[in-house]
Structure 1
Amino acid sequence: MYHVICATTNPAKIQAILQAFNEIFTPGSCHMTSVDVESGVPEQPLGSHETRQGARNRVVNARALCPDADFWVAIEAGIDDDSTFSWVVIENAQQRGEARSATLPLPAAILEKVRAGQALGPVMSAYTGINEIGRKEGAIGVFTAGALTRSSVYHQAVVLALSPFHNAVYR
């Protein structure tokens, strides 16, 4: 059984990680532990580089906290080119996998507040009245009428970031 450290306490992210690992490594083959670690970047990362660095930093911090695990996984959400997206970073003792999620264009009214220094989650919570929306369906759930959620978009990126770990061609 693999011990997977999720460098997050966010239920939407944990659900995506669990689902992806169960699909790639078979259900029940992984034990997940959630840890709260720092990203080393602003609460609302701006740009692909800063967002990816936040995910990489979370993996480093999770490894330092739980060095005996088999995998460390981080998901960092950011804003780039007027859209929200995330980076997924997964490491084991031998290698790293990374993938960027799909992007969601954001309305100008939301972007204005983010550019003024607010994080997307609180802006969306104020806009929708949904408390802690970033731990639930997220902006993507609202703007796609529930067709997609944070977790569903994260799931796809986690599966992609896992590709180096189950494909022999990467080794």
Structure 2
Amino acid sequence: MIMYHVVCATTNPAKIQAILQAFDDIYGEGCCHIEPVAVDSGVPEQPFGNHETRTGARCRIMNARQVRPEADFWVAVEAGIDDDSTFSWVVIENHKQRGEARSATLPLPAIILEKVRAGEALGPVMSAYTGIDKIGNKEGAIGVFTAGKLTRSSVYHQAVILALSPFHNSMYH
């Protein structure tokens, strides 16, 4: 079995878990060594809009490639706010191609959106609202507002699987 070196352009445990699970699902359990790296997104801590959020993920990939050029895959997950909802972009690259997918979206209540629009990032707003420290590293707003039926990681996992599709399907080549 091939062992892939996968660089995650994040140190967020919810994102890392989603990436690891997706690679295990697609390439087989234990198929990869995941290495988290802290890199800049080039966008604000709380990106707004589809374009800014995807730009953040692409920028993280570019920076991760500079830090770890020897990797087999680079993966970034950037969460943003658009149309009163939170969502994320997943960008994956290897030495030959790129895969991108946008996650499912979660509508946010007005009380949360008001604080986010005033300049606070969603994670800290949700932590203050719920009392859950560093909620963005755990279930996230998604876990809170879906009564735990979905989590930040489970929604990212689906988007990572979608973004991986060009890498293992021959029709893309």
TM range (shorter): over 0.9
Distance 2:63 2:34 in 1: 16
Aligned residue runs from structure 1 range 21-170, under 5 A: 21-170=23-172
* 1:61-112 residue CA offsets vs partner (Å, 9 max, x unmatched): 0000000000000000000000000000000000000000000000000000
Distance in 2 of aligned mates of 1:64 and 1:30:
20
- CA drift of 1:12 comes to 0.2
Q: Secondary structure at the match of 1:142?
A: helix
Give the letter for the 2:33 counterpart. Answer: H
- Distance, in Å, in 2 between the alignment partners of 1:60 and 1:143 is 33
SS in structure 1 at match of 2:153: helix
Paired positions, count: 171
Letter in 2 for 1:106: L
In the TM superposition, residue 29 of structure 1 has moved relative to its aligned partner by 1.1
CA distance in 2 between counterparts of 1:29 and 1:16 reads: 15
Residue in structure 1 matched with residue 19 of structure 2 by the alignment: 17
Letter in 2 for 1:81: D
> How many Å separate the matches in 1 of 2:139 and 2:18?
12
1:86 alignment partner AA: S
Amino acid at match of 1:32: I
* Structure 2 segments unaligned to the other structure (5+ residues): none
Unaligned runs of 5+ in 1: none
Distance 1:11 1:29 in 2: 19
Q: Which amino acid aligns with 1:72?
A: W
1: CA distance, partners of 2:80 / 2:147: 21
Q: TM-score, normalised by structure 1?
A: 1.00
Q: Distance in 2 between matches of 1:124 and 1:170?
A: 39
Runs of 4+ displaced beyond 6 Å:
none
Shift of 1:138: 0.2
Task: Give me the identity figure in percent.
Answer: 80
Alpha-carbon separation, structure 1, partners of 2:137 and 2:31: 25
Separation of aligned partners in 2, 1:2 and 1:142? 34
